[in-house]
Amino acid sequence: MTERSPLREVTLVLPMAPDMELVASQAASALASFVGMSADRVDEVRMAVVEACINAFEHSHSEDRHVDITFRVWGEKGPDRLEIEVHDGGVGFSLADVEDPHIEKKIRSGRKRGWGLKIIQGLMDEVRILSGSRGTTVIMSKARGGGSQES
């Protein structure tokens, strides 16, 4: 991997307020288009970003009630991968405590929610989650075409 610095970096600070995830989604759309992704892949990035924001809004218990989102465009000869980092300053969580949702259980359960991480992992090429007492950071990336460009 020879990448040193991103070709483009954009940072957003969004309040945890209704529909603010759509602001993140619009920025994601613009940057994914800049990378040259197809319309379908742009939509996948948008949905993943929406889910990451909603997870932060709903589960972080952040006192300052905002999320920091950093978009980085990577590539050697031109833009070929978008990385998105969504950080909240909340209480963190243990990944081991997150139940993998299954439709068979959800359909007869009182709790139908809890799909965010599964959707993000299904739509993005790579997803890393760092969580601790200083909050949670979801780092996800998607290449311009199918499959990751990362080594």
Partner 1 sequence: MTEGLKLTIERRDGLAVIYTEGYINNQGGEEIARAAYSLLDEGYRRLLLNLTGTRIINSIGISILIEIIEKMLEVEGRLAFCQLTPTIEKTFHIMGLAQYASIYPDERAAMAQLTG
> Is residue 113 classed as helix, strand or coil in its secondary structure?
coil
Pick the closer one to partner 1 by CB: 120 or 139.
120
Cα Rg for the chain, rounded, in angstroms? 16
Q: At what angle do helices 20-35 and 39-59 cross, to 10 degrees?
A: 150
Beta 81-88 vs 126-132: how paired, if at all? unpaired
Q: Distance (Å, rounded) from C-alpha 117 to C-alpha 121?
A: 6
Binding mask of the shown chain, residues 11 to 50, with x at each position contacting partner 1 by CB under 8 A? -------xxxxxx-x--------------x--xx-xx--x
Window 93 to 122, contacts with partner 1 (CB under 8 A): 101-104, 106-108, 112-113, 115-116, 118-119, 122
Pick the closer one to partner 1 by CB: 7 or 98.
98
Residues that bind partner 1 (CB under 8 A): 18-23, 25, 40, 43-44, 46-47, 50-51, 54, 101-104, 106-108, 112-113, 115-116, 118-119, 122-123
